[in-house]
């Protein structure tokens, strides 16, 4: 879904507004009359097909995007036609305001759906697959973070290793109803004294400055933001060392940057950044994001570490870095990516977890018990898979030895070992699920008891 083009740009540019209406007429979709009396339009269709027609060459990619937004949100036409150039934080109609600081860039967050307690997306099998991948990436992230200050050739995993890991991951779009199972967030900021082209160029030509301000290191390192995959590494006092694998699509013609999460990311999500003329001589950055927790592990961990709020804070700093780039402090670092030793990390993050526990004791007890279930399930699943791999290896080795000795039965033994391994792995998977489910039930019951006994509510 496209975010709104800035209404002030439209109100100050009658030609653009008329072009959008003309394109809407060509599209043939119905929209209600606007404040200035524009007539309703008939119904239909495909924006890309119409925009590709030579007779519509007068429409820029930005015009096409703006027209599509109005087709999806006809109620915005009234506001667009009547607004004056204005500045200030903006909460979209039908959304609630998120917990962010406005700052000099008038940063705002419009939210719809669960936040900060994100819903968990996907089936149990999908969640377990994401959990396993997340745990695996956590190990890599910890090593990468602790070797960050070493010479590039000594850092592990190496850039080549990171690229190899990324190549094997698949996109993980959010699953479910937007605004219910999936959290919908729209971040906006105002960047005075810079055109949309200049701001877009800053994000694509100096991506490290932008992402580092949000506490994210890009691995493998890049000089410019292009189509491809990268690992966003976080750490320090805002989050434990974590790898966030993403896929990026840059569209210079439309001035958009699209990001999809990949396997192992703590979130399932997708988001698009738009760089719009704000009608006041500057640019409005509109970041349209959809996300949810990728596994129950993330769902439980968010009760101790503010995962969703951490994301909001990171993007707020990335937007603010862009503001400062064009308005007085081009050396602004934001969160940055300094190395923080493990003891300091543990102290600060432990303090945050303690505050979460004190603030919501019942919820914390539920999450803690559930985390034990998550960990136990993971351990049982892992032992089952290791047993299956061991039996597979033993069966294959026996098969080869018997074949070398020219004795019969090798394939039979190999097949039996494989089948036994699969049985053990399947049994372990089911056992782990039962244990996890039971622990979640215990956690829920404990939460209810604490809520009942807690005199403070």
Tens digit of each residue's pLDDT (9 = 90 or more) over 105-123: 999 999 999 999 999 999 9
Label residue 50 by pLDDT band (50, 70, 90).
very low
Residue 381 near residue 428, CB atoms below 8 Å: yes
Q: What is the pLDDT of residue 67?
A: 60
Q: What is the pLDDT of residue 384?
A: 87
- Of 229, 255, 243, nearest to 171 by C-alpha is 229
List the helix and strand counts (H, then E) for the chain: 14, 9
Q: What is the average per-residue pLDDT within 58-79? A: 56
- Percent of the chain residues topping a pLDDT of 90: 59
- Higher-confidence residue of 81 and 429: namely 429
**DSSP assignments along 272-313, one per residue:** EEEEEE-SSSSEEEEEEEEEEESSHHHHHHTTTS-HHHHHHH
- pLDDT tops 80 at residue 172: yes
Tens digit of each residue's pLDDT (9 = 90 or more) over 333-370: 999 999 999 999 999 889 988 888 888 888 888 888 98
- pLDDT tops 80 at residue 17: no
Label residue 249 by pLDDT band (50, 70, 90).
very high
Q: What is the pLDDT of residue 428?
A: 87
Whole-model pTM over 0.95: no
Label residue 446 by pLDDT band (50, 70, 90).
confident
Q: What is the pLDDT of residue 69?
A: 66
Q: What is the pLDDT of residue 60?
A: 58
- pLDDT tops 50 at residue 34: no
**DSSP assignments along 2-46, one per residue:** PPPPPHHHHHT-HHHHHHHHHHHHHHT------TT-PPP------
Q: What is the pLDDT of residue 62?
A: 60
**DSSP assignments along 180-193, one per residue:** TTBEEEEEEEEETT
Residue 306 near residue 37, CB atoms below 8 Å: no
Give residues with Cβ within 8 angstroms of 60, minimum separation 6.
Answer: none
**Rounded distance, CA 67 to CA 17, Å?**
9
Residue 116 near residue 192, CB atoms below 8 Å: no
Q: What is the pLDDT of residue 171?
A: 98
Most confident among 86-100, 215-229, 332-346, 405-419 (mean pLDDT):
215-229
Mean pLDDT of the chain: 84
Label residue 371 by pLDDT band (50, 70, 90).
confident
Label residue 71 by pLDDT band (50, 70, 90).
low
**How is residue 408 annotated by DSSP?**
S
- Higher-confidence residue of 403 and 259: namely 259
Q: What is the pLDDT of residue 43?
A: 36
Q: What is the pLDDT of residue 36?
A: 39
**Burial (CB count within 10 angstroms: exposed 0-12, middle 13-18, buried 19+), residue 36:** exposed
Residue 261 near residue 268, CB atoms below 8 Å: yes
Label residue 44 by pLDDT band (50, 70, 90).
very low
Most confident among 42-56, 71-85, 325-339 (mean pLDDT):
325-339
- pLDDT tops 80 at residue 88: no
Q: What is the average per-residue pLDDT within 226-252? A: 95
Tens digit of each residue's pLDDT (9 = 90 or more) over 173-213: 999 999 999 999 999 999 999 999 999 999 999 999 999 99
Residue 310 near residue 238, CB atoms below 8 Å: yes
């Amino acid at each position: 879904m496209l975010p709104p083009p800035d209404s002030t740009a439209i109100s100050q540019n009658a030609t653009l507004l008329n072009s959008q209406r003309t394109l809407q007429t060509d599209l043939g979709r119905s929209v209600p009359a606007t404040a200035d009396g524009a007539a309703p339009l008939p119904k239909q269709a495909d924006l890309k097909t119409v925009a590709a027609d030579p007779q519509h060459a007068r429409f820029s990619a930005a015009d096409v995007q703006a027209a599509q937004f109005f087709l999806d949100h006809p109620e915005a036409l009234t506001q667009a036609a009547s607004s004056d150039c204005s500045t200030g934080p903006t909460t979209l109609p039908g959304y609630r305001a998120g917990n962010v600081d406005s700052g000099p860039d008038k940063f705002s967050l419009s939210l719809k759906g669960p936040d900060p307690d994100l819903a968990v997306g996907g089936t149990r099998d999908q969640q377990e697959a994401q959990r396993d991948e997340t745990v695996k990436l956590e190990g890599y992230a910890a090593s990468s973070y602790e070797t960050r200050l070493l010479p590039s050739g000594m850092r592990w995993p190496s850039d080549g290793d990171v690229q190899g890991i990324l190549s094997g991951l698949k996109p993980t779009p959010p699953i479910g109803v937007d605004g219910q199972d999936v959290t919908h967030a729209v971040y906006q900021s105002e960047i005075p004294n810079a055109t949309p082209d200049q701001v877009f160029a800053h994000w694509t030509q100096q991506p490290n400055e932008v992402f580092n301000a949000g506490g994210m290191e890009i691995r493998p390192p890049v000089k410019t933001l292009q189509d491809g995959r990268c690992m966003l590494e976080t750490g320090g006092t805002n989050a434990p060392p974590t790898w966030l694998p993403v896929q990026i699509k840059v569209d210079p013609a439309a001035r958009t940057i699209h990001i999809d999460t990949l396997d192992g990311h703590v979130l399932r999500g997708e988001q698009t950044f738009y760089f719009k003329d704000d009608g006041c001589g500057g640019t409005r950055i509109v970041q349209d994001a959809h996300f949810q927790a990728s596994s129950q592990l993330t769902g439980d961990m968010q009760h101790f570490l503010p995962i969703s709020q951490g994301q909001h804070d990171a993007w707020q700093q990335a937007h603010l870095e862009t503001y400062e780039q064009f308005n007085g402090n081009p050396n602004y670092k934001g969160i940055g990516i300094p190395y923080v030793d493990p003891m300091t990390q543990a102290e600060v993050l432990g303090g945050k977890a303690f505050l979460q526990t004190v603030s919501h004791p019942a919820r914390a007890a539920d999450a803690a018990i559930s985390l034990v279930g998550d960990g136990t399930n993971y351990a049982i699943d892992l032992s089952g898979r290791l047993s299956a791999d061991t039996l597979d290896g033993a069966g294959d080795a026996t098969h080869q030895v018997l074949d070398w000795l020219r004795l019969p039965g090798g394939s039979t033994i190999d097949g039996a070992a494989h089948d036994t391994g699969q049985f053990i792995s399947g049994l372990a998977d089911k056992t782990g699920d039962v244990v996890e489910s039971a622990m979640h039930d215990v956690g829920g019951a404990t939460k209810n008891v604490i809520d009942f006994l807690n005199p403070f509510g």
